Structure 1
Amino acid sequence: MSADLRLVLFDMDGTLVDSQGAITGAMGEAFAAVGQVAPSREAILSIVGLSLDLAIERLTPDMDAATRQALVEGYKSSYTVSRQAAGKAHSPLYPGTADMLAALNAVPEYLLGIATGKSQRGLDAVIAAHDLTCFVTRQSADHHPSKPHPSMIHTAMSETGVAPQHTVMIGDTSFDIDMGRAAGVTTIAVPWGYHQVEQLNADHTLENFAQLAPLLQRIWKA
Structure 2
Amino acid sequence: MKYLCFDLDGTLVDSAEGIETTFLHTFKQLGVPAPDKETLRTFIGPPLEVTFANHVPKELQSKAVELYRTYYKETGQQQTYLYPSIKELLHQLKGLGYHLFITTSKNQEVSHEIAHSLGISDYFEGIYGSIPGSMHKADIIQRVMTDYQIPPAEACIIGDTKFDIIGGKNIGIHTIAVSWGFAPLDQLKEETPDIIIDSPLDLLSHLS
Contact 1:147 1:176 in 2 (8 A): no
Q: Helix, strand or coil for the counterpart of 2:168? A: helix
Compute the displacement of 1:196 (Å): 1.3
Verify: 1:103 aligned to 2:92, yes or no.
yes
- 2:25 corresponds to 1:29: yes
Larger deviation, residues 32-41 vs 178-187 = 32-41
Q: For the Cα contact (< 8 Å) 2:46–2:136, is it kept in 1?
A: yes
Q: RMSD across aligned C-alpha pairs, in angstroms?
A: 1.6
Which deviates the most, 139-148 or 24-33?
Answer: 139-148
Amino acid at match of 1:97: I
Equivalent residue for 2:62? 69
Give the one of 150, 163, 176 matched to 2:151. 163
> Of 192, 199, 213, which residue of structure 1 is paired with 2:204?
213
Structure 1 residue ranges (4+ consecutive) displaced by more than 6 angstroms after TM superposition: none
Deviation at 1:174, TM superposition (A): 0.5
Whole-Å Cα distance in 2 between the matches of residues 146 and 194 of structure 1?
Answer: 19
* 1:78 positional shift: 1.2
Count of residues in Structure 1 that have an aligned counterpart in Structure 2 = 204
* Alpha-carbon distance in 2 for matches of 1:8, 1:45: 26
TM-score for both structures, normalised by structure 2 = 0.92
SS at match of 2:82: coil
Amino acid paired to 1:46: T
- Taking structure 1 as the reference length, the TM-score comes to 0.86
Q: Does 155-164 or 110-119 show the bigger shift?
A: 155-164
Check the 8 A contact 2:129/2:135 in 1, yes or no.
no
Residues 85-117 of structure 1 show CA distances to partners (whole Å, capped at 9, x for unaligned) of x3xxx2100111110011001112x10001101
Asked whether the equivalents of residues 49 and 147 of structure 1 are also in contact (C-alpha less than 8 Å), the reply is no
Aligned to 1:220: none
Output the CA distance in 2 between the equivalents of 1:47 and 1:23: 9
Q: Give the whole-Å Cα distance in 2 for the aligned partners of 1:143 and 1:156.
A: 16
Matches within 5 A, 1:1-222: 6-60=2-56, 63=57, 65-83=58-76, 86=78, 90-108=79-97, 110-132=98-120, 133-142=122-131, 144-148=133-137, 150-200=138-188, 201-217=192-208
Deviation at 1:143, TM superposition (A): 5.0
Q: Which runs of 5+ in 1 are unaligned?
A: 218-222
Q: Distance in 1 between matches of 2:51 and 2:135?
A: 9
User: Does structure 1 retain, via aligned residues, the 8 Å contact 2:19–2:76?
Assistant: no
Q: What is the one-letter code of the residue matched to 1:138?
A: I
Stretches of structure 2 that go unaligned for 5 or more consecutive residues are none
Q: Distance in 1 between matches of 2:76 and 2:96?
A: 32
Between Structure 1 and Structure 2, the one with more strand by share is 2
Is residue 21–residue 76 contact of structure 2 (8 Å, CA) maintained in 1?
no
Offset of 1:145 from its aligned partner? 3.0
